[in-house]
Structure 1
Amino acid sequence: MSLTLIRVAHSCVLLDFAGTRVLTDPWFSERPGYFPGESLAFTPATLPRLSAVVASHGHYDHYDVDAFSAYPDRAVPMIVKRGIGDRAMRAGFTDVTEVDAWEQVSIGGLRITATPAKHAVPEVTFVIEAAGLTVFFGGDTLRIQELDEVGRRFPRIDLALLPVNGLMVRPAFNRRVVMNAEQAAELAAVLRPRVAVPIHYAYTAGHVRDRLLLKYDGTPQRFAAAMAAVAPDTDVHILATGRPLEVRPT
């Protein structure tokens, strides 16, 4: 069996393990200060039937439960960072499980493990296993040493989805809240995935906010260049939204 992934936009990715489908960090709408910067591959109504949804943290651009409530199956299992599940339940979802790092959830042949993260708010990343394949999903975490443990516990990672835009908040003295391209490549060198796909890089807060409030320090092209230097055995794919990529077992 193989895995097909499609970037929906930002950190929202559809992972299809031969019919077992997982959606990451749903974001399907816009509001002032939050623009994906790229077209959406799906709307909630046009998504295929999902086996599970994972959400790394409670920021709107990663946990857009109000817009996602247009998805027709409100009983889809949702695995979310501990402390944010009530928002999904208020939006009408009925099967919501909260997790912290190293807690696991099994759904049929799917196993989801929450793993460490650090961001401006409490966050987890995820390792998603199905059909003999393993995916690391990085949400929009910083590069922290605790993530090295993921490589020790999961020595065979087939795909890593890694944020690369290096978002910094200007009013807080350029405080970084997301890893940049080179830091993502450093993490990939530790995780040793067969395939890496950059995520979380087209987002924009709008012209004024981008100029005054935020700074971006990373691009997918810089990630690919850094990977060639530190993890040359990993295949890097920069994917436009909607373009499928197949990852086959070895």
Structure 2
Amino acid sequence: MSTPLSVTRIGHACQLIDIGGIRVLTDPWFTQTAVYYQGEPVAATVGSLGRVDAVVVSHEHYDHCDLDALVAGGFDLGTPLIGPGTVATIARGKGFRDVRTVEAWEAATVGDLTVTATPGEHGVHEVTFVIQAHGRTIFFGGDSLRVPELDTIPDRFGPVDLAILPTNGLCVRPMDLRQVVMDAEEAAGLTAALRPAMAVPHHYAFHSGRLGDRMITKADQDPRHYADAVARLAPEVDVRLALPGTVVTVP
């Protein structure tokens, strides 16, 4: 029998992954500013998370690296935090005591958990992650663009149980609509390459506020576009559109 695996979307790219009792928090974001809106309820407070065995952070953008909220919420700063060098520097400055720096194809272990950084591409330095424990494998895509090397993950790591992918195709208006996040079609193409048993989209409800959406960012906020694209490109993959706070169990 497979080790139980579930994921609970806290909001945006903040997910709580549970692999047989090993609990991993991804890309924390619990607060908002004048140009960073979750666009959906945040399903937990820092204090209500319970035990967390590791935190993985893909890059330093505020909506993925809200370390101030963790500190203010009384989070255990001895919890291992895993991320690229840019994130590691910030985390140490905030008082995190067990910071593990990983760049693409480097791994860190926390007990039975192995977290391998995989390539990413975004407006700043970013990595994505393969998270493994007890024979289960999860790919976490942060808010990266589609990077060709990610197609090799099944060959490198074996079958993928769960893929968590961004889908909003975020573009930056002042940069001539430069795209910095994979869109629904690109995410579906990566899903077809990864062949996970289940896929969960994220990073789609976010917006920049009424003025910011007109002047700063442009994005697709409908995850059904991803589900439709996967149905065409990888119909064997089970796509779950999860509201914040909903526990999704992976077979």
- State the TM bucket, normalised to the shorter chain: over 0.9
RMSD: 1.0
In 1, the alpha carbon distance for the partners of 2:165 and 2:146 equals 10
Equivalent residue number for residue 88 of structure 1: 91
Distance (whole Å) between structure 1 residues aligned to residue 75 and residue 217 of structure 2: 36
2:201 aligned residue? 198
Q: Aligned match of 1:219 in 210, 222, 241? A: 222
Give % identity: 48
Query: Where does structure 1 differ by over 6 angstroms across 4 or more consecutive aligned residues?
Result: none
Using the TM superposition, give the Cα deviation of residue 169 of structure 1 relative to its aligned residue in structure 2, in angstroms.
Answer: 0.6
Give the aligned length: 248
1: CA distance between counterparts of 2:160 and 2:32?
33
Q: Which residue of 1 aligns with 2:159?
A: 156
User: 1:106, CA displacement in angstroms?
Assistant: 0.9
Match of 1:36 in 2: 38
Q: Does 2:27 align with 1:25? A: yes
In structure 2, C-alpha distance between the alignment counterparts of 1:81 and 1:36, rounded to whole Å: 24
Q: Displacement of 1:178 after TM fit? A: 0.2
CA drift at 1:14 = 0.1
Deviation at 1:212, TM superposition (A): 1.4
1:98-118 CA-to-partner distances (Å, cap 9, x unmatched) read 110000011111010000000
d(CA) in 2 for partners of 1:155, 1:96: 27
C-alpha contact 1:155 1:191 (8 A) present in aligned 2: no
- In the TM superposition, residue 147 of structure 1 has moved relative to its aligned partner by 1.4
Q: How far off is 1:48 after superposition?
A: 1.5
Shift of 1:18: 2.0
Quick check: 1:160–1:193 contact (8 Å CA) kept in 2?
Answer: yes
Q: Specify the alignment match of 1:147 in structure 2.
A: 150
**8 Å contact kept, 2:230–2:237:** yes
Distance across 1 between alignment mates of 2:74 and 2:223: 30
Alpha-carbon offset, residue 126 of structure 1:
0.1
Please say which of residues 85-94 and 106-115 is displaced more in the overlay.
85-94
Shift of residue 218 of structure 1?
5.8
After superposition, where does 1:171-210 map in structure 2 within 5 Å?
171-210=174-213
**Normalising by the residue count of structure 2, what TM-score does the alignment of the two structures yield?**
0.96
Residue segments in structure 1 that go unaligned for 5+ positions in a row: none
1:171 shift after superposition: 1.4
CA apart distance, 1:146: 1.9
- Could you tell me which of 53, 56, 59 is aligned with 2:55? 53
Distance in structure 1 (CA, Å) of the matches to 2:107 and 2:226: 30
What is the Cα deviation at residue 154 of structure 1? 2.1
Q: Hey, what's the Cα distance between the residues in 1 that align with 2:223 and 2:137?
A: 22
- Distance in 1, matches of 2:220 and 2:75, equals 38
Tell me the residue number matched to 1:14: 16
Deviations for 1:36-59, whole angstroms, at most 9, x for unmatched residues? 111111111110101100000000
Pairwise CA distance, 1:222: 0.4
For structure 2, the 5+ residue unaligned runs are none
1:106-145 equivalences in 2 (<5 Å): 106-145=109-148
8 A contact 2:59–2:86 mirrored in 1: no
Q: Helix, strand or coil for the counterpart of 1:16?
A: strand
* Aligned: 1:241 with 2:249: no
Question: Match for 1:239: what amino acid?
Answer: A
Q: Distance in 1 between matches of 2:38 and 2:75?
A: 23
Q: Is the 8 A contact 1:81 1:98 kept in 2?
A: yes
